[in-house]
A = this chain, B = another copy of it.
Amino acid sequence: TCPSTAPSPPPPDPEVPVSTPIILDCDPGHDDAMAILLAVGDPRVELKAVTTSAGNQTVEKTAMNARRMCSLARAFDVPVAAGYPKPLTGTLLIGDDVHGETGLDGWEFPEPEVPLQSAHAVDLIHDLLVDSPEPITLVVTGPQTNIAGLFARHPDDRARIKEIVCMGGATHRGNTTPYAEYNILVDPEAAHEVLASGVPITYCGLNVTHQAPVTSEVMQRILDVGTHISKVSASLLGFRSSTYDQIWDLPDAPLHDPVAIARVLDPTLVDCVEAPVSIELRGEFTRGATVVDLYGVTGRTPNAKVATHLDTERFWDVFMKALTALG
């Protein structure tokens, strides 16, 4: 056989949209719930699995909530697995002030039809990576404990990941302490290990997710979709806005986690810069800060992409379209 005359692979059919395979590691949580809906509803990503971390609530509760949302979205074939029950070091700081007792307060869910996999999150991700013909994108919208655990157990899996796109950190102020964002603060050592792994990583931090506030107008658009799913979504987001308003005087609570999905769906929705990022592990008042050197004052080499701008209008259009597509 002569290579020079071998038939070329057919060009991608522009009518058939390219779908990026992703695994979503999350801690639902209300905005993680919306990220699941977006990932299921938009054809430009193929949701291979949902794994859950300990974060907004215990890992048992976040796994239950992932199963609830996949069931709601009729994503019955998406495997859901639970990961580590606590951060690499120290004890878990849950986010029940925002997300309530269940981690997804604001709607009374039925028993989910999607089952819990018996496999640990790390094993499920590992098996999917090994079995996949192409590298997979990890979207991480909770503390990064599971991903650090994956790299510790299976260092070779780093080469099987196309990139990591996370909701995490901030270029300016944090939300849980003055300079630390919740996902990073819960497990700073994990975030450090993921950043140091060498896998390409993009941070969608508070500076960009705050460009997606759930305004009254957005709420109205969600309700206008007119489906059961849109009704549940509006109810969940309504609950969350009430807690945001109490804690931060912020009635139009920003929709953090779907922004990371959006960046994968269509990178033009979220502008990024390359910058040196460090995770502060030591500070007395600043532990968990993602220290982003936007102006190159530290002399460090850029090691991450950092989101700086969201195309808010198109983001909401994409979100509403996915919600509508879920039926």
Give chain A's interface residues, CB within 8 Å of chain B: 84-86, 88-89, 120, 149, 152-153, 155, 171-173, 175-179, 189, 192-193, 247-249, 278, 280-287, 289, 291-295, 297-298
Contact = CB atoms under 8 A, between A and B. Distances in A.
A173 B289 CA distance: 12
A55 to B, nearest CB: 15
A189 B88 contact: yes
A152 B285 contact: no
Given A84-B152, A189-B189, A285 B291 contact: yes
Nearest to A89: B189
Given A248-B295, A280-B284, A283-B287, 19 more contacts: A88-B193, A89-B189, A89-B192, A120-B153, A171-B173, A173-B294, A177-B291, A177-B297, A178-B291, A178-B294, A178-B298, A179-B179, A179-B286, A179-B289, A280-B283, A281-B284, A283-B283, A283-B286, A283-B289
Q: How many copies of this chain does the complex contain?
A: 4
A306 to B, nearest CB: 11
Given A172-B172, A286-B280, A84 B291 contact: no
Given A189-B189, A285-B280, A298-B177, A88 B152 contact: yes
Given A280-B285, A282-B283, A289-B179, A88 B85 contact: no
B178 A293 contact: yes
B152 A295 contact: no
13 contacts: A86-B155, A88-B89, A120-B153, A177-B293, A178-B291, A178-B298, A247-B295, A247-B297, A249-B295, A278-B284, A282-B282, A283-B287, A286-B286
Nearest to A249: B295
Contacts of A297: 175-178, 247
A152 B85 CA distance: 7
B286 A152 contact: no
Contacts of A295: 247-249
Given A248-B295, A295-B248, A152 B283 contact: no
Interface centre among A177, A189, A248, A284 (most CB of B within 10 A): A284
Contacts of A282: 282-284
Contacts of A173: 171-172, 294
A176 B155 CA distance: 27
A63 to B, nearest CB: 15
A89 B193 contact: yes
Contact of A178 (B85, B178, B192, B292): B292
Given A280-B285, A284-B280, A286-B280, A179 B88 contact: no
Contacts of A175: 297
A125 B178 CA distance: 35
A84 B153 contact: yes
A24 to B, nearest CB: 21
Contact of A152 (B86, B193, B291, B293): B86
A291 B179 contact: yes
